[in-house]
Amino acid sequence: MLTFVGKGTAQTCDGTLRRDFLQVGALGAIGLGLPQLAAAAEAGKMDPSKSKRSAIMIFNLGAPSQLDTFDMKPDAPAEIRGPFQPIATSAPGIQISEILPLHAKIADKFSLVRSCFHRGAAVHDAGWQIMQTGRQFSGGVNTPHVGSAASYLLGRRTDLPPHVVLPETMGRGGGNLPNGQAGGFLGKSHDPFALMADPSKPDFKVPDLLPPENIGTARLDRRKRMREVVESTIKNFEASEAARMMDENFQSAYRLMTSPQARDAFDLTKEPESVRQRYGMNRFGQCCLLARRLVEAGVRFVTVNTFLTVFDEVSWDIHGSKPFTSIEGMKNIVAPMYDQGYTALIEDLHQRGMLDDTLVCNLAEFGRTPKVNPAGGRDHWPQCFTVYFAGGGVQGGRVVGASDPIGAVPADRPVEPPEIVATILHSLGLDLETHLPGPAGRPFPLVDFGYREIRELF
């Protein structure tokens, strides 16, 4: 394996040194540029009028309770409706939970899908995979994240990676399954760039983005030239597909480490303190702000994980018994942070004139049981839950679908994960009939057969 700069001090789980050096391919920041975009448009893979579009996926890891957030049932029995009251919103006829008062003020800018469901197991990582790829993990086929598929087809716009995950990819989910946040069969070069840092910390830096302090740009240039000389003498290797991919990864990583544009995009100190405070000085809030900065700088797709795991921190996973929180704990701990960060993002994008060209989708792996459990929480429930969308051509203030009187199953317009993925790709201007190069070189449909975008949103 070729390395880029000198020896490091930290070790990854496979024993590889990182932080103070760059391995070829380690960033997974490859992406093609304007020629690929033009070719995609000419081949009918995308709508050129949407070439400026980007997407931000907020993944609500742990799974919010639909009955306590966006699909309340105030007339149901107490053990179904829970402790919270519905409140009016800026969108006529739409009510949401009192624990999301800032959402209520901007409800005219987002639209709810209250009839989402999937047929996967009620296990976190099974839901993560299905919702972010549009397909269940089966037969060893690891379908790429929708952002990886989009960046493969559309490529990069700038020195920045085409797909970034903030603050890092998901941790354990309990099912020992892929989490859906990878390039899958498209290859490691289409994995998203993972920040691997908490942007709310005073000493925030991007570990794999910038060269170590003791290695300047001139030294990086010397390493690059030396590598080119070495590789020019290995003719057989140089002609191989592996060499081509390695070189593209190297060049992408080199651009990142030497790009003033990349440094600026990740530099939150350039934001006024009032803006940072509006988003919330916590990990999620600052990730939302960073997502806006990255999209503004040309990144096509940003995935924000609200939490990283359901095991080591309080999340939307409100089983009630320790170490999980209760429904009341969600109100006091999770909801205020989430309410502040999301609404700041939407308002900021709107005020900057960016919302029309930025799809913001809020997903989760499943919903929660209609009945409150004895511990004061709710358990896993893939049979019905709510997701929502804003910007990127989506009309705000709408509700698509409906659940039954206790929020247990869709009663109108059932929506499945492939339709969620298709909606994202449609917003980005991609032709849903496109195929990816799948396992064993066989064409693989971008969207599962027969599924389309949720047209009622547009």
Looking at residue 94, its pLDDT comes to 98
Instruction: Examine the domain organization and report whether 9 and 107 are in the same domain.
Output: no
Instruction: Examine the domain organization and report whether 205 and 221 are in the same domain.
Output: no
Give the residue, 69 or 28, on which the prediction is more confident: 69
Query: At 158, is the secondary structure helix, strand, or coil?
Result: coil
User: For 368, what's the count of Cα atoms within 13 Å in the CB-facing half-sphere?
Assistant: 32
Looking at residue 413, its pLDDT comes to 98
Q: How many helices (H) and strands (E) does the chain have?
A: 14, 18
Beta-carbon contacts of 165 under 8 Å, excluding residues fewer than 6 positions away, are 181, 192, 193, 194, 195, 302, 303, 304, 305
Query: In 258-365, which ranges are E strands?
Result: 301-305, 358-363
Looking at residue 363, its pLDDT comes to 98
Give the residue, 25 or 310, on which the prediction is more confident: 310
Q: How confident is the model at residue 240 (pLDDT cuts 50, 70, 90)?
A: low
pLDDT tens per residue across span 119-175: 999 999 999 999 999 999 988 899 999 999 999 999 999 999 999 999 999 998 888
Q: How confident is the model at residue 26 (pLDDT cuts 50, 70, 90)?
A: very low
Looking at residue 207, its pLDDT comes to 76
> What is d(CA 82, CA 386) in angstroms, rounded to the nearest whole number?
17
Instruction: Examine the domain organization and report whether 233 and 140 are in the same domain.
Output: no
> What is d(CA 162, CA 134) in angstroms, rounded to the nearest whole number?
20
Q: How confident is the model at residue 441 (pLDDT cuts 50, 70, 90)?
A: confident
Q: How many domains does the chain have?
A: 2
Looking at residue 312, its pLDDT comes to 85
Q: Is the pLDDT of residue 21 over 80?
A: no
> Which of the listed residues 261, 281, 296 is the one where a domain comes to its end?
261
Looking at residue 259, its pLDDT comes to 83
* φ/ψ of residue 223, rounded to 5: -60, -40
Looking at residue 1, its pLDDT comes to 31
Q: How confident is the model at residue 46 (pLDDT cuts 50, 70, 90)?
A: confident
User: For 168, what's the count of Cα atoms within 13 Å in the CB-facing half-sphere?
Assistant: 11
For the chain, the average pLDDT equals 86
Cα dihedral 102/103/106/110 (nearest 10): 160
Instruction: Examine the domain organization and report whether 445 and 342 are in the same domain.
Output: yes
Instruction: Examine the domain organization and report whether 325 and 218 are in the same domain.
Output: no
Beta bridge partners of 388: 112, 362
Give the residue, 119 or 222, on which the prediction is more confident: 119
Looking at residue 260, its pLDDT comes to 87
Q: Is the pLDDT of residue 368 over 60?
A: yes
Q: How confident is the model at residue 55 (pLDDT cuts 50, 70, 90)?
A: very high
- Interior/surface letters 331-367, b for 16+ CB within 10 angstroms, e for the rest: beebbbebbbbbbbbbbbbbeeebbebbbbbbbbbbb
Domain with 255 in it: 1-25+213-261
Give the residue, 38 or 138, on which the prediction is more confident: 138
Instruction: Examine the domain organization and report whether 273 and 229 are in the same domain.
Output: no
Beta bridge partners of 303: 57, 165
Q: How confident is the model at residue 29 (pLDDT cuts 50, 70, 90)?
A: very low
Percent of the chain with pLDDT over 70: 80
Instruction: Examine the domain organization and report whether 192 and 318 are in the same domain.
Output: yes
Instruction: Examine the domain organization and report whether 167 and 255 are in the same domain.
Output: no
Instruction: Examine the domain organization and report whether 202 and 225 are in the same domain.
Output: no
Instruction: Examine the domain organization and report whether 348 and 256 are in the same domain.
Output: no
Instruction: Examine the domain organization and report whether 18 and 76 are in the same domain.
Output: no
CATH number, position 83: 3.40.720
Looking at residue 258, its pLDDT comes to 74
> What is d(CA 430, CA 47) in angstroms, rounded to the nearest whole number?
6
Give the residue, 228 or 308, on which the prediction is more confident: 308
Looking at residue 175, its pLDDT comes to 87
Instruction: Examine the domain organization and report whether 107 and 234 are in the same domain.
Output: no
Q: Is the pLDDT of residue 290 over 50?
A: yes
Contact assessment for residue 308 and residue 61, using Cβ atoms and an 8 Å cutoff: yes
Query: In 323-418, which ranges are E strands?
Result: 358-363, 367-368, 380-381, 385-390, 399-400, 402-403, 410-412
pLDDT tens per residue across span 400-434: 999 999 999 999 999 999 999 999 999 999 999 99
